[in-house]
């Protein structure tokens, strides 16, 4: 056991945390923005908008990964444009890991943010307008502080989902040691190689991280 720990490659741990952090930051700001914008949409348009944004929540991750691979492949227009003009490679890269994790985790942030905004007392917004506050100030001084517990909960859930992502990440970014290999991918490979002891260590690490996340969720909701 001690020998396994001494020779354990910790790169999947740090890669997973970085993926979770970057994807959660994108999820948070984009999720809050789109959730707030959706409140002012026509109901029919909002229904379509919601369906599109929450689709990754119900689709198998491998299906999401397949679509991302079609979009960002260097043989496709988007992938060719990014690589040809900016030399940005998404497939089999760390950026691919972040994009895949973001797409999978985004619906959790979006749904939490929208639920929080729908529960707001609109009289507070009307009062802010009466006092001459701009929509920008109303959003940051009234809406966000009141909705902050739900927003932070959504961010934590997005982070938890992002660090556990496997299917879409594997298809888009592959499993390159020290570059795109995450904890989930490492566990799958170790089990395939029947290295159950090392796989169990990684599982214990994931359980510990999830336990800390659940404690943080409980603290925020109080």
- Read off the pLDDT of residues 130-172 as tens digits, 9 standing for 90 and up: 888 888 888 888 898 999 989 999 999 999 999 999 999 999 9
Q: Is the pLDDT of residue 91 over 90?
A: yes
Q: Is the pLDDT of residue 1 over 80?
A: no
Joined together, the tokens standing for residue 199 give 């796989």
Residue 204 phi/psi, 5-degree rounding, is: -65, -40
**CATH number for position 40:** 1.10.3720.10
Joined together, the tokens standing for residue 187 give 């566990």
User: Which residue range forms the structural domain that includes residue 100?
Assistant: 1-221
What is the Cα–Cα distance from 93 to 186, expressed in whole angstroms?
16
- Tell how far CA 11 is from the center of its chain: 20
Task: Write down the pLDDT at residue 29.
Answer: 96
What is the pLDDT confidence band of residue 2, given thresholds at 50, 70 and 90? low
Task: Write down the pLDDT at residue 193.
Answer: 92
Q: How many domains in the chain?
A: 1
What is the reported pTM?
Answer: 0.92
What is the Cα–Cα distance from 28 to 220, expressed in whole angstroms?
16
């Amino acid at each position: 056991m001690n020998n396994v720990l001494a020779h354990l490659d910790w790169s999947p741990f740090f890669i997973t945390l970085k993926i979770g952090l970057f994807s959660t930051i994108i999820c948070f700001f984009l999720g809050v923005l789109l959730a707030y914008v959706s409140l002012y949409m026509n109901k029919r348009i909002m229904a379509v908008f919601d369906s599109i944004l929450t689709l990754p929540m119900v689709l198998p991750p491998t299906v999401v990964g397949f679509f991302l691979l079609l979009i960002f492949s260097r043989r496709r227009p988007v992938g060719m444009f990014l690589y040809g003009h900016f030399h940005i490679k998404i497939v089999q890269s760390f950026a691919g890991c972040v994009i895949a994790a973001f797409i999978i985790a985004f619906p959790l942030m979006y749904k939490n943010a929208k639920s929080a905004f729908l529960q707001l007392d609109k009289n507070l917004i009307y009062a802010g307008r009466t006092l001459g506050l701009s929509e920008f100030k109303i959003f940051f001084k009234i809406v966000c502080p009141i909705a902050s517990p739900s927003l932070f909960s959504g961010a934590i859930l997005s982070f938890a989902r992002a660090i556990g992502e496997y299917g879409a990440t594997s298809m888009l970014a592959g499993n390159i040691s020290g570059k795109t290999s995450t904890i989930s991918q490492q566990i799958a490979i170790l089990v395939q190689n029947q290295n159950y002891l090392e796989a169990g260590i990684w599982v214990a690490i994931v359980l510990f991280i999830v336990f800390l996340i659940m404690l943080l969720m409980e603290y925020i909701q109080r």
